[in-house]
Amino acid sequence: MIPLLFCRHLALLFITVLLLSAPAPDARGADTQALRALAVEFNTLNTRIRDNQVGKAEARERFRELVQALAREYREAGAAEYPAETWCFPLKGYDHRAIGGRGNGYQLGGYDYFAGNRHSGHPSHDIFIRDKGQTGLDDRTGKPVQVLSVTGGVVVAAEREWQPGSRLRGGKYLWILDPATQSLVYYAHNAALHVAVGDLVRPGDLIAEVGRTGLNAYKKRSPTHLHLTLLSVASGLPVPIDPYRTLSKAK
């Protein structure tokens, strides 16, 4: 007959094995396995659109499907939602005064997300750092400037492999989808990325470091900056929105 104490130890061991083998929850407390899988699919689509490897009609249909699926899975996973009032300014140690031209650099110019790397217009804000020597370091601190997530949400696309000579305009970039405000935010020209596709973020989380990556951002004529674009996906398709007023109030 097996002793009762031994049976208890065996049961505890079995429960421990089950817990260790279960899918790990995200740092935000949500089980995001399915969400990560959808984010990987979006990243693949975004890369194909970027490289003009998919027709616009097909791209629009698949984009709408994935955005809706990501938002649905985000909520089903119990991920936290943050209203626009909690948004954070994207550069640590800086504020809206670092935005180029006091916001006048924002120009639609017929922008079309589905034109990929060939898109026109500049429905974005360039946020400049103090870097006279173009080293990618802040002149006052001698350190990289941290890029912070403006919104909450999930990282749905990333590029880590940019090298000088590449025609890719965004360099090392991130796209973050925020289901709470139905926003898709683009952070470009980074030196290093600190998050990966499928990661959940909160407003103010460290996601990257300001850099000089990208076809034009790498050139000497370009001051070191973060390129920030905000697209609304409330209709299921990306529509540029000027976030200057919101950024001017963000901490």
Q: What ranges do the domains of the chain cover? A: 84-249
Tens of pLDDT, residue by residue over 170-210, are: 999 999 999 999 999 999 999 999 999 999 999 999 999 99
Identity at 30, one-letter amino acid code: A
pLDDT for position 42 = 98
The pTM score is 0.88
Q: How confident is residue 17, by pLDDT bands cut at 50, 70 and 90?
A: very low
pLDDT value at 5 more than 60: no
| Residue 40 tokens, joined | 């990987």
Which has more pLDDT, 25 or 179?
Answer: 179
HSE-CB of 117 using CA atoms within 13 angstroms: 17
Tens of pLDDT, residue by residue over 29-85, are: 557 899 999 999 999 999 999 999 999 999 999 999 999 999 999 999 999 999 999
Tens of pLDDT, residue by residue over 108-152, are: 999 999 999 999 999 999 999 999 999 999 999 999 999 999 999
Class of domain 84-249: mainly beta
